[in-house]
Amino acid sequence: MQTDVWNILDSCAFFTQIHPDGNLATVVDIESEIVNRQSKQYYSSLVNKGLKIIEPSKESIELVERKAVETGDYDVLSSVDLKILALGYELKGTIVSDDFAVQNICLHMELEAIGCNGKKIKEIRNWKYKCSACNKIADKKENACSVCGSKDVFRIKVK
Ligand SMILES: [Zn+2]
């Protein structure tokens, strides 16, 4: 078993029971996302086998929040997602997640990310915000369009 490589497990790892071996870690709050009995049993068995449950520091979470704002993913992330990312940052680990926003931020932060299907994620997705009233495109999310004041602003994908 490798001693210096960490895999940070998001909820999909417990649902699918597919993830890399090695040092495994997750966050305290993941338990609230694992709802079905089979996943709970799998979670317990991994804890017995040495799955570490670690709470990332407030500083790491704040850093991830800033990165998520930069990529435009902040609005779709749960607090569990943010903690998974913060823990990946602290342990310099590979994040195992099927959540596209989580994967996107991993790329942005140069963290390794794989899906629960084992696929590596390569594409960085950035978002912009388009006003549906005047078509103005903004880099950052604003509560209202800076040109016409419309609140009808939606997220678009850009390369
Ligand atoms: Zn507008």
pTM: 0.78
98 and 144 assigned to the same domain: no
Provide the β-strand partners of residue 35.
Answer: none
CA of 7 to the centre of ligand 1 (A): 43
Indicate the number of domains in the chain: 2
DSSP letter for 48, please.
H
CA of 105 to the centre of ligand 1 (A): 28
CA of 138 to the centre of ligand 1 (A): 10
Query: How do strand 137-138 and strand 126-131 relate by DSSP bridges?
Result: antiparallel
Range of the domain at 133: 126-158
Asked if the structure places residue 103 within a domain, the reply is yes
Q: Per-residue pLDDT tens, the chain, 159 aa: give them.
A: 456 789 999 999 999 999 988 899 999 999 999 989 999 999 999 999 999 999 999 999 999 999 999 888 898 899 999 999 999 999 999 999 998 889 989 988 999 999 887 777 776 667 888 999 999 998 887 789 999 999 999 888 776
78 and 137 assigned to the same domain: no
